[in-house]
Amino acid sequence: MLPFHMGWVIVSCLLLLYLASYAFSYSFCNHHDSSALLQFKYSFALNTSHDDFYWWPLSSYFSSKTESWKNGSDCCEWEGVTCDTISGHVIALDLSCSNLQGHLHPNTTLFSLTHLQQLNLAYNDFSGSSIPSGIGDLAKLTHLNFSQTSFSGDIPSTISHLINLVSLDLGGNDKMRPDSLTWEKLIHNATNLRELSLDLVDMSSIKESSLSLLTNLSSSLLSLRLSGTGLQGNLSAHILCLPNLQQLFLDDNYNLSGQLPKSNWSTQLRYLSLFHCNFDGLLPPSLFNLTQLSRLHLSGNKLVGPIPSQINKLSKLETLFLSSNNLNGTIPRWCYSLPSLLSLGLGNNHFTGSIGDFSSSSLEVLYLPNNKLQGDFPNSIFQLQNLTYLNLFSNNLSGLVDFHQFSKLKNLYHLDLSHNSFLYINFNSSVDYIFPNLVELYLSSCNINSFPKFLARLQYLKYLDLITKFVKAFPNGFMISSCTPGNIFIVLSFNKLQGDLPIPPNGIRYFIVSNNELTGNIPSTMCNASSLFILNLAHNNLTGLIPQCLGTLPDLLVLDLQMNNLRGSMPKDFSRRNSFETIKLNGNQLEGPLPRSLSHCTSLQVLDLGNNNLDDTFPH
């Protein structure tokens, strides 16, 4: 047993160690920093309506972080504030998504927090103010995020003083711009930059020679995002080959040209996105040997030639988009067997041959429209259990497709087989099948033996395009039960539909059933579809009067009733705030004067009233 005094010594030592560790793990906020933060807080209003961020899907989750900031309390405990555990100085400030609204004052106390290493003000509204030059006083900054902040004007040259920057994000501020000198100084000084994001910032004044300075960051840069910045000229291949680059986004720079390098790609490259640029030349085989590649998006360029057929194992590739180029040849077999592929987009090219057999079950999006693909419809598509989007529009596919097979694809919401004129679709089946998530169905110019009865059971259908020349009748209750309220588009022109005109559901935007054999009157209940943009009933055998209420539909842009047997007068009361751009009533039996209210159609571009018995002048 220890002597009493030895036990007391041990207890005392343990107590001192505890107090010392507590002192080193916790320190009250520096008084100057606390005061500066409070002054910054009171210089802004809090916008809790989220009106300025209505487009941001998470805006309802924005929180007013500065509400927790109270005078007399420890600022190190405030939301969004991080302090140095020894000095108590504020070293990190995260006020992203904090509902701040108003101008950032040139003399803001924020820039007196000279120990700041990280500053994040993303997703606030600074009302078009400029970034103050005082930003350069925060010399210790390593991370700066001013994305989506409504800043505008010139980026201050003092930003080049931040030589310790590791991450800089000014993206989403489309009224902000750097001049060439500021850009050059920034790239020259911030040699430790690993992440640079300037998406949508106006960089149209940055010359090719200035842009090529990015090669100075070859040892550090991991992520470069310059999408939609107005870059132009020829991009140096060296930028595409920065040795440590993992992410490169240059999308939507329509005047940015160049060719893809044949070699020297970063072996760590995971995301390469150059869609809607002006690149030309061939697809280099070396690009398809990058084993870390996860996303390759080169759509909307001027690339030519075939897709390389020999590749290394692209086991991590999830997205391959090469649409809207001038690529040709056959689609290589490896495109159908990538184990992680989620999206394959090769549309709007000149590919020939047949669609191969899919051996990967991960695919969710298959986009192959506007090619020259031929042969039988591949049955392996019906095994793609995760498929949500299938578009084979305008090819030369053939064979007989039993439509009930698509019901195996429970997640399918978009299906477009239209303009495959040798493709026969059979809707007859002894099996009662459903499509629980189908929203968009396009089957125009296919060979169809009857109107698909299952349409009456589609709960979420909003887009239907069925121009086939073969359909003769609607299934009972189709218009009533098949469409849920919302934006609905129905195109059934150039069929042989007979009988009375069905009433479209509320919420419909386009109702186009021209060039059929419909008979009977246009019922006044047609006006219950008050959200109509386009109503086209032309080239049928409709009789009776034109419902007067059609002139009062507020959103109707196009009213086309030409080449029917309608009689009586035109609608007399066109509302003052109508939206009419086109009115076609040619080839009916209308009579009488033109309504004076026709002058309310101030947006009218096309008015065709020929081959009637109308007697008047226009304009009045």
Over residues 155-181, the pLDDT tens digits come to 999 999 999 999 999 999 999 999 999
- The pLDDT score that the predictor gives to residue 486 is 58
The DSSP bridge partners found for residue 498 are 517
Q: What is the CATH number of domain 21-202?
A: 3.80.10.10
Amino acid residing at 203: M
Give me the chain's average pLDDT, please: 89
Question: In the predicted model, is pLDDT for residue 25 greater than 50?
Answer: no
Q: Report yes or no: 252 and 276 within 8 Å, Cβ to Cβ.
A: yes
DSSP string, 351-384: EES-------S---EEE--SS--EEEPPGGGGG-
Compute the distance between CA of residue 274 and CA of residue 569 in angstroms, rounded to an integer: 57
Helix (H, G, I), strand (E, B) or coil at 457: helix
Compute the distance between CA of residue 566 and CA of residue 597 in angstroms, rounded to an integer: 20
Q: Each residue of 306-361: pLDDT tens digit?
A: 999 988 778 999 999 999 999 999 999 999 999 999 999 999 999 999 999 998 88
Q: Report yes or no: 422 and 448 within 8 Å, Cβ to Cβ.
A: no
- The pLDDT score that the predictor gives to residue 239 is 92
Compute the distance between CA of residue 80 and CA of residue 41 in angstroms, rounded to an integer: 12
Q: How confident is the model at residue 277 (pLDDT cuts 50, 70, 90)?
A: very high
Q: Each residue of 529-573: pLDDT tens digit?
A: 889 999 999 999 999 999 999 999 999 999 999 999 999 999 999
Q: Report yes or no: 598 and 575 within 8 Å, Cβ to Cβ.
A: no
Helix (H, G, I), strand (E, B) or coil at 32: helix
Token code pair at residue 297 = 């998006």
Q: How confident is the model at residue 47 (pLDDT cuts 50, 70, 90)?
A: low
Ramachandran quadrant class, 281 (left: phi over 0; alpha: psi -120 to 50; beta: rest): left
Q: How confident is the model at residue 485 (pLDDT cuts 50, 70, 90)?
A: low
Question: In the predicted model, is pLDDT for residue 468 greater than 50?
Answer: yes
Compute the distance between CA of residue 285 and CA of residue 620 in angstroms, rounded to an integer: 69
| Element at 391 (helix H, strand E) | strand 389-391
Question: In the predicted model, is pLDDT for residue 2 greater than 50?
Answer: no
